[in-house]
A and B are shown apart, each in its own frame.
Chain A
Amino acid sequence: ETGVTQTPRHLVMGMTNKKSLKCEQHLGHNAMYWYKQSAKKPLELMFVYNFKEQTENNSVPSRFSPECPNSSHLFLHLHTLQPEDSALYLCASSQESGRPNNEQFFGPGTRLTVL
């Protein structure tokens, strides 16, 4: 595997379900990000981890719970979601989160549908 991978690619869940999204980066980076991409809206940054420590929570509802066990893996745990949470969830990584000229490398995303 190379780059940034995300699983699953598609997920359909009910509002009472609990599920998790997984992201893995094979680039030796130290920062990882979760973004939400909804139709006709700019990409929304959700969470940032730098060297496994959360450095940004962009006022995300508590029904989204991130976990970063090491610099290569990032999870997004989902519970009691709402239909408006349906979106493409993108994971990204970069060398470090504190360098503004760092390129972020994106995974292919998980298309989430909440029924």
Chain B
Amino acid sequence: AQSVTQLGSHVSVSEGALVLLRCNYSSSVPPYLFWYVQYPNQGLQLLLKYTTGATLVKGINGFEAEFKKSETSFHLTKPSAHMSDAAEYFCAVSEGGGATNKLIFGTGTLLAVQP
């Protein structure tokens, strides 16, 4: 079965600093990988996704992630944090095939941005 591990349930950075949120996955087949963001009192919004092709994926709000098969990782980065980036971030892998496309989510990383 596929699974997702997000290292660090809480990450705090200073405004303007690099954001790095870690995600490792396990999958017996080529994975489809997603990063979602959840702002307070809202649902999840897709930041970016990897399906096939280029391993460096660019998303909204200046975020990007790199698929590294050898490391089974899909870490999320942003060069310079903004106060508005404070939210919870979820990595997910798609368990494709069959009648149902299941998204397997990690436990989330809460990002705090300090002024």
Contact = CB atoms under 8 A, between A and B. Distances in A.
- Is chain B a partner of chain A in the same complex? yes
Contact of B100 (A41, A56, A108): A56
Interface string B57-78: 0000000000000000000000
Contact of B107 (A41, A96, A97, A104): A41
Interface in B91-113: 94-108
A40 to B, nearest CB: 7
Interface string A1-38: 00010100000000000000000000000010000000
A100 B43 contact: no
Interface string A100-115: 1111111111000000
A90 interface: yes
Interface of B: 4, 9, 32, 34, 36, 41-46, 49, 51, 90, 94-108
Interface of A: 4, 6, 31, 40-43, 45, 48, 50, 55-56, 90, 92, 94, 96-109
Given A92-B43, A100-B97, A100-B101, 12 more contacts: A31-B101, A56-B100, A90-B43, A98-B97, A98-B98, A98-B100, A101-B94, A102-B101, A106-B43, A106-B44, A108-B43, A109-B42
